[in-house]
Amino acid sequence: MIRRIHIMNLWFLFVATLAVGCDTMPAAPMLGEPVQTPIPSGIYTGRLMGVSRTYDGAGALVRELPIEFPVSPTFDVSGLPVIVPGRQSVVGLVFELSFGGNTATGTIKSVNVSGNRLVIGYDFSSMPDPDISISGSGTYTYEFAPPNTVNYTSSVFEGATTPQGFFTTITEGSAQVVAP
């Protein structure tokens, strides 16, 4: 709960910064250096399960949906997940992601390795319609459990401005993925 409140506070600070006239965002960082993780290369498979909660501008829960779908992350020889085929997942990498029938442009902002744990932070934005803008941030967390298992968690915080008002959605899910 504390993490969610902290994320909401960061999001509202971001929106407030834009509202006071900040018309440009800082330039994207240069592509970062690749890192090495202990995750063996290969295709891992599993099933992600979690929940997605949407709140209105006043913070009232509007919708809560369970999520469940198959996932198959692929890791390269450095132990990094393949987000864009043929490119290493490093700071500054731009990629596309899909959510709720929309496509967004994402940028990796951080890649951190600590022991058997890899955390990739990213932000994204989309304008699926002239009256709708969506932006947010998320993390992919991978924790390697030898010999062939990765505990995978995805957390996404999304804000959307629509003709019906401002909405935030927090989606969290996890899976245990295994390499054959």
Q: How far apart are CA 17 and CA 23, in angstroms?
A: 9
Give per-residue pLDDT as tens, 74-91.
999 999 999 999 999 999
Answer yes or no: is 88 within a domain: yes
Beta-bridge partner residues of 18: none
pLDDT digits (tens, 9 = 90+) for 88-104: 999 999 999 887 677 89
The token duo for 111 is 């890649």
Per-residue model confidence as pLDDT tens digits over 37-67:
999 999 999 999 999 999 999 999 999 999 9
Integer Rg of the chain from CA = 17
Provide the pLDDT for residue 30.
53
Count of all residues that appear for the chain in the document: 180
- Comparing C-alpha atoms, which of 68, 73, 56, 36 is closest to residue 168? 56
Reply yes or no on whether the pLDDT at 112 is more than 90. Answer: yes
Would you call 84 helix, strand, or coil by DSSP? Answer: coil
The residue type found at 64 is: E
159 domain-assigned: yes
Number of domains observed in the structure of the chain = 1
Range of the domain at 77: 40-178
| CA-based max dimension of the chain | 52
Q: Is position 96 within any domain?
A: yes
**pLDDT score of 9 more than 60:** no
Flag whether 7 is in a domain. no
- Name residues whose C-beta falls within 8 Å of residue 94's C-beta, 6 or more positions apart in sequence: 28, 105, 106, 107
Q: Is 166 inside any structural domain?
A: yes
Comparing CA positions, the residue from 124, 176, 110 lying closest to residue 148 is 176
Residue 16 lies in a domain: no
Using the predicted structure, report yes or no on whether residue 149 has a pLDDT greater than 70.
Answer: yes
Q: Which DSSP letter does residue 41 get? A: S
Q: Is the dihedral of CA 7, 13, 18, 24 positive or negative?
A: negative
Question: Could you identify the residue written with the tokens 């099933």?
Answer: 47
Instruction: Look at the pTM and tell me if it is higher than 0.85.
Output: no
Structural domain includes residue 101: yes
- Structural domain includes residue 45: yes
